[in-house]
Copies of this chain bind each other. A is one copy, B any other.
Amino acid sequence: MASNLIPEIGEFGLIGKIAKIAGPTLEAVPKLIEGIGDDCAVYRLSEELLQVSTTDILVDQVHFDLLTTPVKHLGSKAMSVNVSDICAMNAIPRYALVSLAIPPSFPVEMIEELYRGMANAAAEYGVAIAGGDTSSSRSGLVISVAVTGEVTEERIAYRRGASPGDLVCVTGMLGGAAAGLRLLMREKDIMLEHLENRETYDRNLMADLEEYRNAIRSQLLPLARLDIVKFFHSAGIRPTSMIDISDGLSSELQHICRSSNTGALIYENSIPIGPETRLTAEEFQDDALTWALTGGEDYELLFTVPKDSLQDISAHRDISVIGEITPPEEGIFIRDIYGMKIDLAAISGFDHFRS
Binding site for B on A (CB under 8 A): 1, 3-9, 11, 13-15, 17-18, 21-22, 24-26, 28-29, 31-32, 34-36, 40-41, 43, 45-46, 53-63, 94-95, 97-102, 104-109, 111-112, 115-116, 118-119, 122-123, 126-140, 142, 144, 146, 148, 352-353
Contacts and interface: CB of A to CB of B under 8 A. Distances in A.
Given A26-B128, A28-B128, A4 B45 contact: no
A132 B29 contact: no
Task: Return the 6 tightest CB-CB contacts between A and B, nearest first.
Answer: A139-B139, A41-B130, A144-B144, A22-B129, A29-B128, A41-B131
B109 A55 contact: no
Given A6-B106, A17-B112, A108-B3, A26 B130 contact: yes
A139 B60 CA distance: 9
A127 B4 contact: no
Given A6-B107, A35-B130, A57-B135, 8 more contacts: A18-B115, A21-B115, A22-B115, A31-B94, A41-B130, A43-B130, A55-B98, A59-B135
B17 A134 contact: no
Contacts of A135: 57-59, 62-63, 352
A249 B128 CA distance: 31
Contacts of A108: 3-6, 8-9, 13-14, 17
A136 B59 contact: yes
A126 B41 CA distance: 17
Contacts of A106: 5-6
A227 to B, nearest CB: 16
A246 B258 CA distance: 44
Most buried by B among A17, A56, A118, A146: A146
Contacts of A99: 55-57, 99, 144, 146
Given A43-B95, A46-B46, A132-B55, A122 B25 contact: yes
Most buried by B among A40, A135, A138: A135
B97 A32 contact: no
A126 B62 contact: no
A59 B131 contact: no
Given A136-B353, A144-B144, A101 B21 contact: no
A57 B6 contact: no
